[in-house]
Structures are given as C-alpha cells and as structure tokens.
Amino acid sequence: MADLELPRRGLMFILSSPSGAGKTTIARRLLTAEGDALAMSVSVTTRPIRPGEVDGRDYHFTDQPRFRQMVAEDAFLEWAEVFGNLYATPRAAVMQELAQGRDSLFDVDWQGAQQLSQSSGTDVVSVFLLPPSIGELEHRLRTRGTDSEHVIRGRMDRARAEMSHWGEYDYVVVNDDVDACFAKVRTILAAERLKRARQTGLIAFTRGLVG
C-alpha cells in the first residue's frame, strides 16, 4: 500500500553555519535527496551577474532603484546589504510555494534567519550547524587553499561572532561527520513536515474517519 499523503502547508527550512562548518555540503545533499519536495529559495540581488550564472536560477538580478522600490512595496521577507550589494528573499514566490505544500531551503546568516522568523513565524524551521571544534574549523578553512592569512583570520573572527547566535535557532547540530550530520538534518525536516499545524488536510481526513 502506498503511503497516504495528506495536504499540508510547506515550510521555510533555514540552514546557517559559520564558513567551513559544512552548510553548503549539507544543503546540496538535501536538495538532491528531496527532489521536487524541496527547492532552494532564489534571492534577489543587486550585485553584478557572474560568468556561468543564470538570472532566475542563481539569483534574480536587479538594480538598486528597483530593489529599493520593492523594499518600499514590502515585497521582501528579509533583506540586507553585504559589501555594498543588496540581497533579499522575495515574499510572493515563497508564499506561493508554502501554500502549495512545497518546502523552501534558505542559506542565510543569523541576521537573515532572525528576519525570516520575525516575518514568517511558524512557517520557519531554523537549524544551525556547529563545527566539532574551533581548531577543526580553522583547519577546514586552511585546507581550502584559496584564502590569504588575512582572509582566514577575518573568517575566524566572523565565525566566532556567528556562533554566538546559536541559541536563536530551533535546532543545533554538530557537524563532526558529514553523513551523520546530513541524516540528523533530514530527520529534522521530516519531523517538522509532520507537525499537526502543517497538516492542512487533517480536519477533513479525521472527520471522514469518525463520521
């Protein structure tokens, strides 16, 4: 017998971590494993498009006047300025996905997570990934071989600041083993999908059971 799937409301699944703690790896594995049930939220940005990027797939690219107009129109769930460029989560697209029972994955920092939680409340589930130790985090950053000593020191300072916000998240997972971490994060996603408040089809289903 096939599993009975009742209609449900989608959720906004946030993954945050300091650089080097494995957020990108876990996010990619989640997207592959979940297929059409989970999609990465596509942000709006004012930064220039880079070679190989596709408008609408990687980002929705726009200019600063249009971005500011969208802020005034309350078109974003959250937005921030990073190194002179503006980034935001478009409200309409995410709300449409939620209403249709599909989940959206967000790769944001603690500030973005905080704004999304404030704007979307119970639709949000947030997970923070921690490294097994500060020494291991530095080792991972150094083995990339792409950053200067100055950049590494800056990333470590930023990592400490980001990790101080772990208490603002619904779940915290230590990424000491990528397979185990992925399994835990996917279990969180599965459990949150089953919450009674998200099961919009439960009332009709149970009425049919009790007559």
What pLDDT, in 10s, does the model give residues 11-49? 999 999 998 898 999 999 999 999 999 999 999 999 999
Residues 10, 100: contact at Cβ < 8 Å? yes
State pLDDT tens for residues 79-117: 988 878 999 999 999 999 999 999 999 988 899 999 999
Q: What DSSP character marks residue 1?
A: -
Pairing of strands 85-90, 44-45: antiparallel
pTM, 2 dp: 0.88
Higher confidence at residue 149 or residue 145? 149
Closest CA to 57 of 71, 40, 38, 70: 40
b/e 46-71 (16+ beta carbons within 10 angstroms → b): beeeeeeeeeeeebeebeeeebeebe
3-state secondary structure at position 24: helix
* Block residue for tokens 């974003």: 76
What angle is formed at CA 42 by the lines to CA 39 and CA 46, rounded to 5 degrees? 170
3-state secondary structure at position 174: strand
Domains of the chain: 12-41+103-210 (3.40.50.300)
| Token duo for residue 129 | 């990934």
